[in-house]
Amino acid sequence: MSRFQAERHVLPEPDQAQVVTTALGIEDQTAAFEPVRPISPPPKAPNVVVVVMDDLGYGTSSAFGGACRMPTAEALASGGLRYSRFHVTALCSPTRQALMTGRNHHSVGMGGTTEMATSAPGYNGFRPRSAATLAQILQGNGYSTAAFGKWHQTPPREISPVGPFDRWPTGEGFDTFYGFMGAEMNHWYPLLYEGTTPVEPTRRPEDGYHLSEDLADRAIEWVQTQRTLTPDRPFFTYLAFGASHAPLHVAPEWQEKYRGRFDHGWDEQRERTLAEQKRLGVVPQDAELAPWTDTVPHWDQLSDTQRQLASRFMETFAGFTEHADHQVGRFVTALEELGELDNTLFIYLLGDNGASGEGGIEGTTVEHRLGHGIVDDPESMLEDLDRIGGPETYPIAPVGWALAMNTPFQWTKQVASHFGGTRDGLIVHWPAAVADRGAVRHQFHHVIDILPTVLDCAGIPQPTSVAGVAQKPIEGSSMRYTFDDAGAADRRRTQYFEMCGNRGIYHEGWMAVTRHGIPWEMIPEGGRSFRDDVWELYHVDTDFSQANDLAAEHPDRLRELQDLFLIEAAKYQVFPLDPRVTERENPTLAGRIDLLGDRQSVTYRGGMRRFTEETTPNVKNRSHSITADVEIPQTGAAGVIVAQGGRFGGWSLYCADGRIRYDYNYFDLTHYIVGADEVLTPGRHEVRMEFDYDGDGHGLGGNVFLVVDGAKVAAGRVEKTIPYYFSFDETLDVGVDLGTPVSEDYPAVDNAFSGTVHTVRIDLDGPTPRSGDENEAQRRQRIYVSH
């Protein structure tokens, strides 16, 4: 073993010099050569598995007293440790970046999700190379590494065939990646990547396909292969499910397991959950329910229709959650069969933030509507009751259930000030090293503590240099001190929290917090200064759930904590605070680097596909045109020339019955279709769609003209357009519409163009309106629309 390998502070290990006298020919060589060997892991280093669930909340899992049965989580908790005061960051990307780096999320540029990045240092979405990932460190110490599922840490402008790929999973320390890159994914029709190569499943929902099962299958196969080929080499498996983030997609048999089980409503569910939490010992016996959120109705204030819908949404959420936990169980069984479970440090994080309140008061069958301020009419949603959870919907549950799933705390995902947004259950299972099995640990910890915990357990030091870049200090601290000592004093004495302008500071048992926005008002009213935010004060050592605000009783302590927040926020790049959510998902409004820069025209070749919104021209809120050079076969024109988005929002230029058509799909509420009467003749044609936008503002309408070979063949009107984003999981595709179909005029699969698409050119006309150009009343309006 080399000196560097023993120290492990410089990664990767420097080349091993071979000092040996050599002969002219091999027949005269007498000195032996030492083979170049790969770096060996530390002796007895455990396998490492990190499983992350999405959008759960502290009071969701049955392992922490919740209503969603998670037998795998319960079994791992019975054989390991439960952590009752473990914290995350209140949103997806920031928690994952903090987990992977051991640094606070603003320190590594992830102050919001990747889609919300700006140019500010704490929010630019670019992990600095001075903060190496857990995968890079383990890989550099002899581990096999693989990631499966949700990534959500790569800048969106880099998710394209041209990369760069150094911030993809395989560029950040993982030998293998299979999953999706963004915030969420359709679990019936996912668009995935294997390494950096786009792939689609070969099976469909009608064949029994579901993404959660696919991810578990891939993880199991990978681990089995590692044990076959390199049985003495430890592995690191990162398994991050899309469940239970929207869309809530699960087969009916999993919903049926919960049929009628939530008819008692969210108020009573909170009471039931708190009682079970006390029985399990994951909250103190004197814990209280935190105050209910005033703007959210109680169960008895809902109409019969609202209650019926809300119950079905929650049945779907619970089935989705239990189904994902079942896949974790399959993976655990595979580890047992391989004889690896006992020496596997298995970290099961039951949520990357609190349960999501982004479903609003009613919930919705199409999540993206609420992201644009559109609220579904309950009576219209009732028509889709039996389709909720299936391929025809893209649902998210009402905020009342999010509050119940975050029991006993206040608020939800996005709200970093209150534990409803930042506290999740954590299970650590490692039979070889944890003797106090089934116990609960109450020390205060944060997601940045996972990386140093893994390194501590593996016997690996924190590196000083990785790939030639000096490393800045890891900001987390190991939790291993709690494994054998339930009464050990907290080592994390201070921790700041911030998300979307909501902020808090914990210090030695006290916490000062202030909430700036309301998550389910995705397009905020604005106007309020951060200086006007009202601060609350909690003694969380004695008030577990932040139920009793002591700000009026201890103004001096509150002021001390407010000052401490300023110090910590300045240290970790939190300023300037930015409360925007949906607006930042439009790169032009966010002010981040645009892959296409100032280009007003982009030409695609036939067969190009899988371009995300951040790697295509932004046609929203402006005039534009689509020009295609196509060749029609003797059999006639059919299928998609070019499409962007999918079933729940987007546009498509295609042929049906031999005729050119354009379909603007407005959130699956209205399809504005413009079509020609004339059939396209065999041969080569130029087909053009011109969109004449109504003017300054966001989400306005426009006039559509279809032109074939220079002659206008059709005209029509689009009354409303999608202002901020079409989709997080669909793409722009040339010659086909992958994922779900934009239009009902062609099938979900086998919709490729029947002829040849030579080129497709997108031309933009003029700049996108600035945020300030928009009519504020229009932007903030929350309208009811029916199907």
Q: Is residue 388 domain-resident?
A: no
Asked if residue 599 and residue 539 are part of one domain, the reply reads: no
Q: Is residue 30 domain-resident?
A: no
Query: What is the distance between the alpha carbons of residues 254 and 368, in angstroms, rounded to a whole number?
Result: 25
Report pLDDT for 709: 98
Structure tokens at 5: 């390998």
- Give every CB contact of residue 91 below 8 A, 6+ residues apart in sequence: 112, 113, 352, 353, 413, 414, 499, 500
Ramachandran category for residue 646: left, alpha or beta (phi over 0 → left; psi -120 to 50 → alpha): beta
Query: What is the distance between the alpha carbons of residues 93 and 116, in angstroms, rounded to a whole number?
Result: 10
Q: Is residue 430 domain-resident?
A: yes
Burial class (CB in 10 A: 0-12, 13-18, 19+), 584: buried
Query: What is the distance between the alpha carbons of residues 603 and 626, in angstroms, rounded to a whole number?
Result: 10
Alpha-helix residue ranges (DSSP H) falling in 263-360:
266-280, 304-337
Query: What is the distance between the alpha carbons of residues 727 and 729, in angstroms, rounded to a whole number?
Result: 6
Asked if residue 600 and residue 579 are part of one domain, the reply reads: no
Radius of gyration of the chain (CA): 27
Question: What is the chain's length?
Answer: 787
CA nearest 492: which of 460, 540, 431, 535? 540
**Secondary structure element (H or E) that encloses residue 704, with its range:** strand 702-708
Residue 188 belongs to a domain with what CATH number?
Answer: 3.40.720.10
Q: Is residue 215 domain-resident?
A: yes
Asked if residue 732 and residue 750 are part of one domain, the reply reads: yes
Q: Is residue 727 domain-resident?
A: yes
Q: Average pLDDT in the 327-353 region?
A: 98
Residue 759 belongs to a domain with what CATH number?
Answer: 2.60.120.200
Asked if residue 629 and residue 571 are part of one domain, the reply reads: no
Q: Average pLDDT in the 504-514 region?
A: 98
Q: How many CB atoms lie within 10 A of CB 657?
A: 11
Q: Average pLDDT in the 723-745 region?
A: 96
With DSSP H G I counted as helix, E B as strand and the rest as coil, what are the percentages for the chain, rounded to 5? 25, 25, 50
Q: How many CB atoms lie within 10 A of CB 732?
A: 26
Say how many CA atoms lie within 13 Å of 132 toward its Cβ: 26
Q: Which of 530, 561, 585 is the last residue of a domain?
A: 585
Burial class (CB in 10 A: 0-12, 13-18, 19+), 692: middle
Please determine, for residue 527, whether its predicted confidence score (pLDDT) is greater than 70. Answer: no
Q: Which of 564, 585, 606 is the last residue of a domain?
A: 585
Helix (H, G, I), strand (E, B) or coil at 307: helix
Q: Average pLDDT in the 100-107 region?
A: 98
Asked if residue 445 and residue 470 are part of one domain, the reply reads: yes
Asked if residue 603 and residue 579 are part of one domain, the reply reads: no
DSSP state of 356: P
Q: Average pLDDT in the 499-503 region?
A: 97
Q: Is residue 372 domain-resident?
A: no
Asked if residue 738 and residue 686 are part of one domain, the reply reads: yes
Please determine, for residue 296, whether its predicted confidence score (pLDDT) is greater than 80. Answer: yes
Q: Which of 558, 585, 612 is the last residue of a domain?
A: 585
Report pLDDT for 767: 52
Report pLDDT for 768: 53
Asked if residue 476 and residue 508 are part of one domain, the reply reads: no
Residue 48 contacts residue 236 (beta carbons within 8 Å): yes
- Give every CB contact of residue 690 below 8 A, 6+ residues apart in sequence: 625, 704, 705, 706, 707
Q: What is the pLDDT of residues 14-73, one digit of tens each?
A: 887 777 788 999 999 988 888 888 889 999 999 999 999 999 999 999 999 999 999 999
Count how many domains the chain has.
Answer: 3
* DSSP assignment of 63-103: GGT-SB--HHHHHHHHTSEEESSEE--SSHHHHHHHHHHSS
Query: What is the distance between the alpha carbons of residues 106 and 97, in angstroms, rounded to a whole number?
Result: 9
Residue 250 contacts residue 258 (beta carbons within 8 Å): no
Query: What is the distance between the alpha carbons of residues 393 and 399, in angstroms, rounded to a whole number?
Result: 18
Ramachandran category for residue 299: left, alpha or beta (phi over 0 → left; psi -120 to 50 → alpha): alpha
Q: What is the pLDDT of residues 762-787, one digit of tens each?
A: 999 865 554 444 443 333 333 333 22
Residue 561 belongs to a domain with what CATH number?
Answer: 3.30.1120.10
Q: What per-residue string of b and e applies to 324-349 under the rule 16 or more CB within 10 Å gives b?
A: bbbbbbebbebbeebebbebbbbbbb
Q: How confident is the model at residue 602 (pLDDT cuts 50, 70, 90)?
A: very high
**Secondary structure element (H or E) that encloses residue 566, with its range:** helix 555-571
Q: What is the pLDDT of residues 172-190, one digit of tens each?
A: 999 999 999 999 999 999 9
Instruction: Return the percentage of the chain with pLDDT > 70, whole number.
Output: 96
Give the residue numbers spanning the domain of 678. 594-785
Asked if residue 220 and residue 128 are part of one domain, the reply reads: yes
CA nearest 525: which of 543, 501, 495? 501
The sheet with strand 639-646 has its strands ordered as 670-675, 659-666, 649-656, 639-646, 732-734
Q: Is residue 295 domain-resident?
A: yes
Name residue 207's amino acid: D
Q: Average pLDDT in the 406-425 region?
A: 98
Q: Is residue 445 domain-resident?
A: yes
Q: How many CB atoms lie within 10 A of CB 767?
A: 13
Report pLDDT for 776: 34
Asked if residue 477 and residue 540 are part of one domain, the reply reads: no
Name residue 528's amino acid: R
Asked if residue 767 and residue 727 are part of one domain, the reply reads: yes
Q: What is the pLDDT of residues 665-686, one digit of tens each?
A: 999 999 999 999 999 999 999 9
Q: Average pLDDT in the 438-448 region?
A: 98
Query: What is the distance between the alpha carbons of residues 203 and 223, in angstroms, rounded to a whole number?
Result: 23
Q: What is the pLDDT of residues 582-598, one digit of tens each?
A: 778 777 778 888 888 88
Distance of CA 218 to the CA centre of its chain: 20
Q: How confident is the model at residue 206 (pLDDT cuts 50, 70, 90)?
A: very high
Q: Average pLDDT in the 144-160 region?
A: 97
Report pLDDT for 133: 98
Structure tokens at 722: 């999608």
Report pLDDT for 582: 76
Residue 287 contacts residue 408 (beta carbons within 8 Å): yes
**Secondary structure element (H or E) that encloses residue 590, with its range:** helix 587-590
Helix (H, G, I), strand (E, B) or coil at 305: helix
**Secondary structure element (H or E) that encloses residue 780, with its range:** helix 776-780
Q: Average pLDDT in the 439-463 region?
A: 98
Report pLDDT for 498: 98
DSSP state of 766: S
Query: What is the distance between the alpha carbons of residues 704 and 672, in angstroms, rounded to a whole number?
Result: 10
Q: How confident is the model at residue 303 (pLDDT cuts 50, 70, 90)?
A: very high
Asked if residue 533 and residue 447 are part of one domain, the reply reads: no
Q: What per-residue string of b and e applies to 87-101 under the rule 16 or more CB within 10 Å gives b?
A: bbbbbbbbbbbbbbb
HEC readout, 140-201 = CCCCEEEEEEECCCCCHHHCCCCCCCCCCHHHCCCCEEEEECCCCCCCCCCCEEECCEEECC
